[in-house]
A = this chain, B = another copy of it.
């Protein structure tokens, strides 16, 4: 498999993180995630005067960042609708003028904005939309690949599959395991510096893209693959299944948020029990890997206090009979989950 294909979004780093005019941390989740999970790729931040959110990184103009070695301005902020507001334009043009590439994962493609396209062409810089899939993706073959794989799956979307995969990959790397985080969504791609946004791939090629994302590797290598959506999400289950079949995981970790009762964005759909997700993931996943099994559960307990979180983790572990942890809280529970992932 040619390296060029795998590394389509080999992103230029280090980054200058653009925060726009964000006044709520929720809109700057991408920048904050990059600060937390890819500090070595982040040089500083740049924001409009009205912004109140900060990553705590040094504030720099694009010219200062370029002089300090930055290679890209990463749009680390979203606004409703995923468009690029006119108020951001002078800042983005300043970055291009400073010789920085622009990197974004917005709904609107940077290359479709004429003023940016013209400026980048003139400056000889790139506009990189990380949601644009590589060209010429293959149809999945289903052929067994060498190496080991772990996929994070969810009872719903947006509850911690990316950070669970990152925490497991980092935790295993710290133990000396040859593990690689594989990004399947926009923020993950920015963190890893490469990857494929599986949900943006044409359906026929989605499992093939997943095969490309975690290529054949040494027998003791472990790819820890960021999951997408949920087999129980009526909008996105097809994306989840393509990723499951193409990843051929030996292990999966179910991500769950105890406080969430209803599936996001689809009124009337209940979040399934963890046990149902284990059962259906095995039932579907065994098509491409008959040895698939659940390594454990990742609970997102951000909404709970320490004591409540510990109690929820213990209760879930004794009910499901598998290691359960909140990777963000870590501790001995997470050590036991890592043990199960390393086996």
Residues of chain A whose beta carbon lies under 8 Å from any beta carbon of chain B: 139-143, 198-204, 206-208, 231-232, 234-239, 241-242, 245, 265-269, 280, 283-284, 287-288
Contacts and interface: CB of A to CB of B under 8 A. Distances in A.
Given A142-B269, A143-B268, A234 B202 contact: no
A202 B202 contact: yes
Interface centre among A140, A206, A280 (most CB of B within 10 A): A206
A235 B266 contact: no
30 contacts: A140-B235, A142-B234, A142-B235, A142-B266, A143-B266, A199-B203, A200-B203, A201-B202, A203-B203, A203-B206, A203-B238, A203-B239, A203-B242, A204-B239, A206-B238, A207-B235, A207-B236, A207-B238, A208-B235, A231-B284, A234-B245, A234-B288, A237-B245, A237-B284, A237-B287, A238-B238, A238-B245, A280-B283, A283-B283, A284-B284
Contacts of A239: 203-204, 238
Contacts of A283: 280, 283
Nearest to A236: B204
A140 B233 CA distance: 10
Given A139-B235, A232-B287, A237-B245, A204 B199 contact: yes
Ranked nearest first, the 3 interchain pairs of A and B with the lowest CB-CB distance are A142-B234, A238-B242, A199-B204
Interface centre among A141, A142, A234, A267 (most CB of B within 10 A): A234
Nearest to A198: B203
A143 B237 contact: no
Nearest to A206: B203
Contacts of A139: 235, 265
Nearest to A138: B235
Contacts of A203: 198-203, 206, 238-239, 242
A149 to B, nearest CB: 15
Contacts of A200: 202-204
A207 B237 contact: yes
Nearest to A231: B284
A207 B268 CA distance: 17
Contacts of A266: 140-143
Given A139-B265, A280-B283, 17 more contacts: A140-B234, A140-B266, A142-B235, A143-B266, A143-B267, A199-B203, A199-B204, A200-B203, A202-B202, A203-B238, A204-B239, A207-B234, A207-B236, A207-B237, A237-B242, A237-B287, A283-B283
B141 A287 contact: no
A295 to B, nearest CB: 22
Nearest to A209: B203
A235 B234 CA distance: 20
A242 B204 CA distance: 11
A207 B238 CA distance: 8
Nearest to A267: B143
B141 A235 contact: yes
A167 to B, nearest CB: 26
Contacts of A268: 142-143
A134 to B, nearest CB: 14
